[in-house]
Structure 1
Amino acid sequence: MRLIRKLLVWLLVLAALAALAAWFALRGSVARLDGVVEGGVQAKVTVERDALGTATISGENRADLVYALGYLHGQERYFQMDLLRRVAAGELAELFGTVALDVDKRHRLHRFRARAATAIAALPAGQREIVERYRDGVNAGLADLAVRPWEYLLLRSPPAPWRSEDSALAIYAMFLDLNGDGENARELNLARLKAQVPEPLYRFLVQPGSPWDAPIRGEPLPPVAIPGQEVFDLRTAMLELPPDLPRFATLSREDLGEKPGSNNFAVGGALTVNGAALVADDMHLGLRVPNIWYRARLRYPDPNDPARTVDLNGVTLPGAPALLAGSNGRIAWGYTNSYGDWTDWVRVVRDPADPARYRTSDGDAAIEKHAETIRVKGAADVALTVEETRWGPIMAADVDGTPLALAWTAHDPRVFNLDLMQLEQVNTARGALALAPSMGMPVQNFVVGDGDGMIGWTLTGNALPRRAGYDPTLPADWSRAGVGWTGWVDAAEFPRVFNPPDARLWSANARVIDGDALALVGDGGYDLGARARQIRDGLRSHERFTAAEMLSVQLDDRALFLAPWRELLRKTVAGTTDAAFETLRHADAAWDGYAAVDDAQYALVREFRVRTIAAALAPFEALGRKSDAKFELPSAQTYEAPVWALVTERPAHLLDPRYADWNDLLLAAARDAATRVAGETWGARNVASIRHPLSRALPGFLARHLDMPAQPLPGDKNMPRVQGPAFGASERFAISPGHENESYLMMPGGQSGHPLSPFHGAGHEDWVRGRPTPLLPGKTVYRLELKPASP
């Protein structure tokens, strides 16, 4: 017995020592916050951090600030940066093993590491020097940690140094995120659907707009008429489909509220209290710990006016050396994803006698073959051959089996440059609009305002393709002369809106323009216009603006879009005895619903809409799968207009014959929705799941120290306050240029992903509650100095 007690004591001692060693190792990877660092800079740079971890970086020249920002990113965000470059390059399996292999195989087809090296080499010398200075700062910051970042201890892998091309890869990762993961699945699915239904029905199902649209130029597009029975009769078509056809179509990621997007809007000085413009922006992305953005303030002497200090406030992307969105004291700017058409499928007609060659408008050409090796942790390397044409890599097949190459703007080296950094020196909204078309980045809606009260909208991104001779929503043969992308749109032709008469601008991933400009931009799957319309109407409801009015629009979680669906549900269940609908049966026709955490009716109405769309479209999904078993309906967002027309006009020839009538279908959707919701409030279904990428691999008692609290969240898609469990506003700001002390910036997840950092989760509760966190940093809590190496 005594021996057993001794063994237990020793085991406890060993466990305590192991825990202590683990704690010291973890502590050793916390970023340096105070003290002096020598080397890497030409003149002294100071880094002051407030209680949130916002870094104020002050120096004598921009190059030193680039190095210092890289140093901070390398110290506090290296693992996040590593994931960005690896996801773009298709190198995740090297770190995570076979679990990441499928993602690597998909992304390696784009050969982004090779393209990144080409893009860096093509940069002007000055921009290439910035990339190199940033690289050196990142690696110095990483090396200056006492222990490598804790994630690598857990993964038992050393971090690989940062390379110059990795900054381009970080931007390519954003292309993947914002452009459908580089798969162009939407247009594949459109082709599959078109192959199975008559043209009038196809045009009805995929009509490009709805009455909810609220473009800043133009009006909602007219609806497409329901085709008659003589065109298509679903009752007959169903005879050719399997008898065990599911009654509800498959839901897409977008239907679950996770379509990458954003809100941005602005009001001119004529409407503001101080006479300067007000710019609001919240970029909707997947939410993690730490947040994708890094808050920073950068201050340095203006090289064009030594008496002035350039003062930048906003967010940076760890992995890149620029301030992405925010203010320079004279202008403020932000983005939303444009959802223009930046990817097209090209039919590759191989030579029957030699499949290694294909037809082009200049004659036959050889298909390039690139051997790629994917390194897999804990397993053998995987060899991958990428076949590439002049238009892009071969990645899919058309409905008739013809190979398809993906033409994507991201494949051109021009899409990466650092022209964005020139915004630091721009003084006017007009000047920013002129610069935007040269900025190498994913094409975004760009809204800007200046201190004189001017506002404007245009597109950023220097790669708008000119198209000729084909329908860009479907695969096409570009081997014919004059068909395909024929060049790039000149900056002078980019659509712009400057100082509109009502001094209000807005964008929210829906269609923004019309006419020739819309034809130039194309349709890459615009979001439903309900959110944009609610923002527009919210702006029009105010005649005088401060930051508080902008925040009220951003936090608007009224369920205006669902009001017609709620009334349809109320009428559908009026004659039923189902207990789940008792409250609804006795409710008034008027509804002031919100996506509030304590609202049970909202959750039911929301689910009823989705289930109705899924039921109405189930047969059409089955028809699409006759072309390809992988067919998916693009999204319930796309089908809002046609399905609403079906459930209001109720044509018998387009009803699934398994239902007696349209009311029978609606009642089935209502009951399915009630079963799924089970009386839960919206807050019980919309619970924050903002987690560190590695927390799922840890026991719960450890994971909770990495992740944000599992709190109920208000808001949803199709309203300004877009918020899901792990998706929503990755930042939320409103900035008045020249009045930054009256502006705010909120971020979820905090500035640091290190559980022992004082900035882990800092500011997150403000984001949850919608409390405006000041844009300008608070009182200095920590001070770090970088200075030149001693002689």
Structure 2
Amino acid sequence: MRWLRRIIVALIVIIVIVLAIGWRLLAGSRPQANGTVAVQGISAPVTIARDGDGIPTITARNRRDLAWALGFVHGQERFFQMDLQRRVAAGELAALVGPKALPVDENHRQHRFRALAQRELALMTPRQRKFMDAYTAGVNAGLAHLSVRPWEYLLLGEKPKPWTDADTLLTIDAMSFDLNQDGDDRRDLNIARLRAVLPRPLVDFLLAPSPRWEAPMQGGSTSAVPLPDASVFDLRKAPVQQVALAQGAHAVALTDAADTGIGSNGFAVGGKLTGGAALLANDPHLSLRVPNIWYRAQLRYPDPADPSKMIDLNGVTLPGAPAMVIGSNGHIAWGFTNSEGDWMDWVRVIENPANPSQYKTPDGWTTLVKHDETIHVKGAPAVHMVVKDTIWGPIMAKAPDGTPLALAWTAQDPRAVNLNLMKLETATTVDQALALAPTIGIPPQNLVVADNAGNIGWSIAGSVIPIRAGIDASVPSDWSKPGTGWVGYATPAQDPRIVDPADARIWTANQRIVSGDALALIGDGGYDLGARAQQIRDDLAAHDHFIPRDMLDIQLDNRALFLARWQKLLLSVLAASHNTRLASLKPFVANWQARAATDSVGYRIVRMFRERVRENALAPFSARATAKWKDFTWPDPQAGEYAVWTMVTQKPAWLLDPQYGNWDALLTDSAEQVADELAKLPGPLADKTWGRYNTARIDNPLSVALPGFIARFFDMPHVGLPGDNNMPRVLHPAFGASMRMDVQPGNEAHAILEMPSGQSDNPLSPWFGKGFKAWVQGKPTPLLPGPAKYKLTLQPAH
């Protein structure tokens, strides 16, 4: 027993020592917040004053020194996040974290963005290079001044590699993957697959937009696509062996929109609805993790046009870049949402029968360029791959008939990335900001701007907008004929704009915004259904005066208007059924609260019912594609709403899965599937709320490698979240509003900015997790930093 006690005591001592060492290392990797640091690379002193939430106010004598200081702060607080971003873009992640990242690297390496970044650098203006050089130097200085390298590297047993100018461009490229289908255009490929196994009129019907839910700002709704009759396609004459939906491929093929990364909102009202400056609201929705993708900051430096005045920027920065990405300068406020335009096309590569290494171009036969790429993998042998390049882009897939496909993507053009976003910092009017839009080198986005004179405007921000000719951009096409494919890029004069609409309201929510020539230019890369945009539009129309809190209320609107008709349909199904399993659902469905509330069981049931009906209705069509291509997924997760609702209301027998006797049987079976799924979960039905399903998983990417009792200290609390698809408050466990901003330029003192996690990912930081609770609750938090609690001065070294 004495030896046992000694062993136990020794183990306790060892554990305490290990915890103490871990605590000390964590503490050492926190940024320096107070004091004076002598540094090389700045021309004058710079102050970094942080408030209690860690939000810095960086004040410099010039923009170059400010870029250096912002780099210093990013390098101290967010270097690991920046490292992941550059590695994701370049296809170099496995070298840091191991084989699990290899599929990502193999996909992304095909684009060779590391090599592209060098070409992009060559196109940068001297002014942009000056800012990039300063920022890079600041990042590396900030990293070097940490007492201990960031804790993530300690866990991985790695040392961080210095930042470079090319890495800043890779950071922007990483956003292209996030915003453009991970750079592989599965949507168009899967449309082609559907067309290969189903008649074109049927595919057009199945993928048609829903006029009921569209909410464009220009032009009307699209015409309804007619229901194909039995002469086009008849399932009764061509039955398909079904795959079990609950366990099989259809559940994968018909992926829910929660997995698509769509949900951003950007809207504005003009001065006549505020009594002064215009008012902007923006809540870009992205993957949520610790730390948050954005880093809050106030940036101050003398106005180059009048040094007696200060440029005062408030908003969010992107660690890895020296710009204020979204924010306000007192004259204008600006924000972004994903445009969902068509920025990628598949090109059919016509091989030379006499020489497989050649392919056909408008100028004749050309030889494929082959690049030998090596992907280093931590703890495993390196992987070698060959990237075959064409004049349009890399060969990445095959058409349904086996023809090689090259991907043309705007992000592959070296002109697609630059630092012109920084020019918004000194713009003073909506017109000036919109004039900059076609020069800004970012993934093409909806840009919404409000100014202090009461004006509002919208345009597409992006420096590479292709002009197409002679092709159907929704499927792979042959570009080998002269005058086909991308025949040039749009000029600034062609950039679509909306300025000061008559009703003084602008709304964007990833929906189709324009029609006609403007729509032909932007294309359709998978627009949102429109129900969310429609709800925002109607919320704006319901009021004639706005303050920032009113805009936040719209961002937090979780009313389930879109599902209302599905709730009524489910009630009718339950009323007609004598199934005792379904009877228990009735009171919850009847009292569903008509919103995605965390305590609502009924909302969860209605949502599940729609999903099962959609899966069951589309299954016989999806099955034809999955039988040939195991990786097939429905081209647009939200596409099909129009077709499914049309079928369940008009009940065409020729489009019904033959396993059902009639459409009522399909609806009843869908409800029974919901009841069965819920019955398999532990606990009473009353406990199976939406919040129990929609629970936050805003975690550090490395916490999965830690024991659960330790990991929870590195993650945000796992709490139920209100909101869902097809309403302004889109929220899922690891996807949602990456920030919410509501601001009148010139009235920043009353502006709002919320974020889902704090400034730091170090759990020992005093500002770790600050803001999360307010973000969950929708409690307004100020845009401007609070009183300074910490002050660091950067002093030029002599």
TM-score (norm 1): 0.97
Q: Secondary structure at the match of 1:77?
A: helix
Structure 2 residues not aligned, in runs of 5+:
680-684
Structure 2 Cα separation of the partners of residues 371 and 586 of structure 1: 63
Change (3 A) 1:216 1:675: same
Task: Name the residue aligned to 2:241.
Answer: 242
Query: 1:674 Cα shift?
Result: 2.4
Q: Secondary structure at the match of 1:733?
A: strand
- The yes-or-no answer on 1:698 pairing with 2:706 is yes
Task: Name the residue aligned to 1:190.
Answer: 191
- The yes-or-no answer on 1:224 pairing with 2:225 is yes
Per-residue CA distance 1:22-41 (angstroms, 9 max, x = gap): 22112110111111111221
Task: Name the residue aligned to 1:32.
Answer: 32
Task: Name the residue aligned to 2:160.
Answer: 159
Change (3 A) 1:749 1:243: closer
Query: 1:243 Cα shift?
Result: 5.6
1:574-593 → structure 2 map (5 Å cutoff): 574-579=575-580, 581-582=582-583, 585=586, 593=594
Structure 2 Cα separation of the partners of residues 588 and 683 of structure 1: 16
**Which amino acid letter does the alignment assign opposite residue 262 of structure 1?**
S
Task: Name the residue aligned to 1:268.
Answer: 270
The 8 Å contact of residues 582 and 671 in structure 2, kept in 1 or not, is answered as no
Structure 2 Cα separation of the partners of residues 776 and 51 of structure 1: 12
1:366-381 → structure 2 map (5 Å cutoff): 366-381=367-382
Change (3 A) 1:764 1:95: same
Query: 1:588 Cα shift?
Result: 9.7
Task: Name the residue aligned to 1:19.
Answer: 19
1:233-312 → structure 2 map (5 Å cutoff): 233-238=234-239, 241-242=240-241, 246=245, 249-251=250-252, 252-256=254-258, 258-273=260-275, 275-312=276-313
The 8 Å contact of residues 85 and 169 in structure 1, kept in 2 or not, is answered as yes
The 8 Å contact of residues 557 and 595 in structure 1, kept in 2 or not, is answered as yes
Comparing 570-579 with 300-309, greater Cα deviation is found at 570-579
Query: 1:255 Cα shift?
Result: 2.8
Query: 1:260 Cα shift?
Result: 3.3
Comparing 209-218 with 630-639, greater Cα deviation is found at 630-639
The 8 Å contact of residues 257 and 724 in structure 1, kept in 2 or not, is answered as no
Per-residue CA distance 1:449-473 (angstroms, 9 max, x = gap): 0000000011000111000001000
The 8 Å contact of residues 511 and 530 in structure 2, kept in 1 or not, is answered as yes
Change (3 A) 1:737 1:660: same
Query: 1:691 Cα shift?
Result: 0.4
Change (3 A) 1:244 1:15: closer
Counterpart selection for 1:773 from 768, 781, 786: 781
The 8 Å contact of residues 449 and 456 in structure 1, kept in 2 or not, is answered as yes
1:384-423 → structure 2 map (5 Å cutoff): 384-423=385-424
Change (3 A) 1:705 1:659: same
The 8 Å contact of residues 111 and 412 in structure 2, kept in 1 or not, is answered as yes
Q: Secondary structure at the match of 2:486?
A: strand
Q: Secondary structure at the match of 1:289?
A: coil
Query: 1:16 Cα shift?
Result: 2.5
The 8 Å contact of residues 607 and 677 in structure 1, kept in 2 or not, is answered as no
Structure 2 Cα separation of the partners of residues 378 and 587 of structure 1: 52
Task: Name the residue aligned to 2:496.
Answer: 495
Change (3 A) 1:116 1:279: same
Query: 1:585 Cα shift?
Result: 4.4
Task: Name the residue aligned to 1:649.
Answer: 650
1:173-572 → structure 2 map (5 Å cutoff): 173-238=174-239, 241-242=240-241, 246=245, 249-251=250-252, 252-256=254-258, 258-273=260-275, 275-572=276-573
The 8 Å contact of residues 571 and 589 in structure 2, kept in 1 or not, is answered as no
**Which amino acid letter does the alignment assign opposite residue 192 of structure 1?**
R
Query: 1:3 Cα shift?
Result: 5.0
Task: Name the residue aligned to 1:708.
Answer: 716
Query: 1:590 Cα shift?
Result: 9.8
**Which amino acid letter does the alignment assign opposite residue 204 of structure 2?**
R
Structure 1 Cα separation of the partners of residues 243 and 259 of structure 2: 29
Counterpart selection for 1:748 from 750, 756, 760: 756
The 8 Å contact of residues 260 and 286 in structure 1, kept in 2 or not, is answered as no
Structure 2 Cα separation of the partners of residues 365 and 76 of structure 1: 49
The 8 Å contact of residues 56 and 298 in structure 1, kept in 2 or not, is answered as yes
Per-residue CA distance 1:723-756 (angstroms, 9 max, x = gap): 1111100000101000000101000011110111
Structure 1 Cα separation of the partners of residues 189 and 47 of structure 2: 52
Structure 1 Cα separation of the partners of residues 46 and 750 of structure 2: 27
Query: 1:671 Cα shift?
Result: 1.2
Query: 1:578 Cα shift?
Result: 3.6
Per-residue CA distance 1:547-576 (angstroms, 9 max, x = gap): 111111111110000001111111112122
Structure 1 Cα separation of the partners of residues 339 and 181 of structure 2: 12
Query: 1:208 Cα shift?
Result: 3.6
**Which amino acid letter does the alignment assign opposite residue 740 of structure 1?**
E
Change (3 A) 1:589 1:20: closer
Task: Name the residue aligned to 1:77.
Answer: 78
Per-residue CA distance 1:163-182 (angstroms, 9 max, x = gap): 11000111111000000000
Counterpart selection for 1:724 from 710, 716, 732: 732
The 8 Å contact of residues 135 and 322 in structure 2, kept in 1 or not, is answered as yes
- The yes-or-no answer on 1:617 pairing with 2:595 is no
Query: 1:598 Cα shift?
Result: 1.0
Change (3 A) 1:27 1:231: same
Structure 2 Cα separation of the partners of residues 581 and 118 of structure 1: 62
Query: 1:258 Cα shift?
Result: 4.3
Change (3 A) 1:57 1:731: same
Per-residue CA distance 1:590-609 (angstroms, 9 max, x = gap): 97501011111110001111
The 8 Å contact of residues 210 and 528 in structure 1, kept in 2 or not, is answered as no
Per-residue CA distance 1:82-136 (angstroms, 9 max, x = gap): 0000111101110111111111111100001000111012101110121111111
Change (3 A) 1:8 1:779: same
Counterpart selection for 1:757 from 765, 768, 772: 765
Structure 2 Cα separation of the partners of residues 455 and 218 of structure 1: 19
Task: Name the residue aligned to 1:43.
Answer: 44
The 8 Å contact of residues 41 and 67 in structure 1, kept in 2 or not, is answered as yes
* Consecutive aligned runs of 4 or more in structure 1 exceeding 4 Å deviation: 1-8, 243-248, 251-254, 583-592
Query: 1:9 Cα shift?
Result: 3.7
**Which amino acid letter does the alignment assign opposite residue 748 of structure 1?**
P
Structure 2 Cα separation of the partners of residues 417 and 636 of structure 1: 32
**Which amino acid letter does the alignment assign opposite residue 294 of structure 2?**
W
Comparing 389-398 with 198-207, greater Cα deviation is found at 198-207
Q: Secondary structure at the match of 2:668?
A: helix
Query: 1:630 Cα shift?
Result: 2.2
- The yes-or-no answer on 1:107 pairing with 2:104 is no
Task: Name the residue aligned to 2:667.
Answer: 666
Structure 2 Cα separation of the partners of residues 590 and 567 of structure 1: 12
Change (3 A) 1:762 1:345: same
Comparing 678-687 with 763-772, greater Cα deviation is found at 678-687
Query: 1:701 Cα shift?
Result: 1.0
Per-residue CA distance 1:337-389 (angstroms, 9 max, x = gap): 00100000000111112111111010111100001111111111111110000
**Which amino acid letter does the alignment assign opposite residue 570 of structure 1?**
L
Query: 1:269 Cα shift?
Result: 0.4
Equivalences, count: 787
Structure 1 Cα separation of the partners of residues 589 and 367 of structure 2: 69
CA RMSD after TM alignment: 1.6
Comparing 34-43 with 472-481, greater Cα deviation is found at 34-43
Structure 2 Cα separation of the partners of residues 529 and 31 of structure 1: 44
Change (3 A) 1:358 1:25: same
Per-residue CA distance 1:663-682 (angstroms, 9 max, x = gap): 10011111112223443111
**Which amino acid letter does the alignment assign opposite residue 261 of structure 2?**
K
Change (3 A) 1:592 1:20: closer
Structure 1 Cα separation of the partners of residues 340 and 471 of structure 2: 19
Q: Secondary structure at the match of 1:318?
A: coil
Structure 1 Cα separation of the partners of residues 614 and 242 of structure 2: 20
**Which amino acid letter does the alignment assign opposite residue 773 of structure 1?**
T
The 8 Å contact of residues 195 and 627 in structure 1, kept in 2 or not, is answered as no
